[in-house]
Amino acid sequence: MSGVAAIAMGAQTANADDMTVSAADHPLVLAQNFTQNSPVSNADLAARIQALEDAQASAAERAQADRTRLSTLEQSYNSAVWTFDNGRPSLASGDGRFTFNVRMRFQTDYASFMQDDTHPAGFNGPNDLGSGAVMRRAYVGFDGKVYRDFAYDVRFNFGGSNGGGAAGGNEGDPLLNRFYLSYIGIPDWHFSVGVLEPVFAGELSQSSSALPFIERTEIDNIASQYGAGDTRRGIEIGWSKTDTLWAGDHLAITGSFTGGTTGTTTGHGSGTGTAPGGDEQSQAIVRVSERLWTDGLSNIQIGGNYGKLLYTGGTGAGGGVVNLQDRPQMRVDGTRLISTGNINAKTGEMFSFDAQGNLDNFYLAGEWARFSLDRQCGTAPTGGFVAGSCFGGNFFTVADRPSFDGFYVEGTWIVTGETKPYTTQAITNEVGAFGNPVPSRPFSLEGDSWGAWELTARYSDMDLNYNPAQTANTVQLAGINGGEERIVTLGINWYMNRNVKLQVNDMIVKVNRGIASNLNRDSQDLNILGVRLAFAN
Query: Burial, 213: exposed, middle or buried (Cβ in 10 Å; 0-12, 13-18, 19+)?
Result: buried
The C-alpha atoms of residue 389 and residue 397 are separated, in whole angstroms, by 10
Task: Map 257-302 to HEC letters.
Answer: EEEEECCCCCCCCCCCCCCCCCCCCEEEEEEEEEEEEECCCCEEEE
- Identify whether 58 is part of a domain: no
- The count of domains in the chain is 1
- Identify whether 480 is part of a domain: yes
Cα angle value 300/306/307 (rounded, 5°): 140
Phi and psi at residue 174, to the nearest 5°: -85, 150
Query: What domain range is 380 assigned to?
Result: 87-536
- Identify whether 223 is part of a domain: yes
Cα angle value 340/345/346 (rounded, 5°): 145
Q: Please give the pLDDT value at position 320.
A: 77
CA nearest to 163, candidates 155, 152, 174, 153: 174
- Identify whether 31 is part of a domain: no
Residues 6+ apart with CB under 8 A from 13: none
Helix and strand totals (H; E) in the chain: 3, 24
The H-or-E segment that residue 49 falls in is: helix 42-78
Task: Provide the CATH number for the domain around residue 456.
Answer: 2.40.160.10
- Identify whether 16 is part of a domain: no
Q: Please give the pLDDT value at position 448.
A: 80
- pLDDT in 10s for each residue of the chain, 537 residues: 444 444 444 444 444 444 444 444 444 444 444 445 556 788 888 888 888 988 888 888 888 888 887 777 666 666 788 888 888 899 998 888 999 999 999 999 999 999 988 888 899 999 999 999 999 999 999 999 999 999 999 999 998 876 443 333 345 577 888 999 999 999 999 999 999 999 999 899 999 999 999 999 999 999 999 999 878 899 999 999 999 999 999 999 999 999 988 866 566 654 444 444 456 789 999 999 999 999 999 999 999 999 999 998 765 555 578 999 999 999 999 999 999 999 989 899 999 999 999 999 999 999 999 999 999 876 555 555 555 556 555 667 788 999 999 999 999 999 999 999 999 877 677 889 999 999 999 999 887 899 999 999 999 999 999 999 998 877 788 999 999 999 999 999 999 999 999 999 999 999 999 999 999 999 999 999 999 999 999
- Identify whether 11 is part of a domain: no
The C-alpha atoms of residue 2 and residue 19 are separated, in whole angstroms, by 26
Beta carbons of 313 and 267 less than 8 angstroms apart: yes
Predicted structure pTM score: 0.82
Residues 6+ apart with CB under 8 A from 394: 377
Q: Please give the pLDDT value at position 266.
A: 61
CA distances (Å), origin 57, targets 52, 96, 99: 9, 36, 42
Q: How far is CA 177 from the centre of its chain?
A: 14
CA nearest to 365, candidates 456, 440, 277: 456
Number of residues written out for the chain: 537
Beta carbons of 449 and 482 less than 8 angstroms apart: no
Beta carbons of 283 and 261 less than 8 angstroms apart: no
DSSP string, 315-379: -STT-SEE--EE-SS--SS---SEE---EEEEEEEEEEEEEEEEETTEEEEEEEEEEEEEEE--S
CA nearest to 167, candidates 342, 334, 332: 334
Beta carbons of 301 and 356 less than 8 angstroms apart: yes
- Identify whether 187 is part of a domain: yes
- Identify whether 356 is part of a domain: yes
Beta carbons of 289 and 430 less than 8 angstroms apart: no
- Residue 515 is given by DSSP the state B
User: Radius of gyration over alpha carbons of the chain, in Å?
Assistant: 39
Q: Please give the pLDDT value at position 24.
A: 44
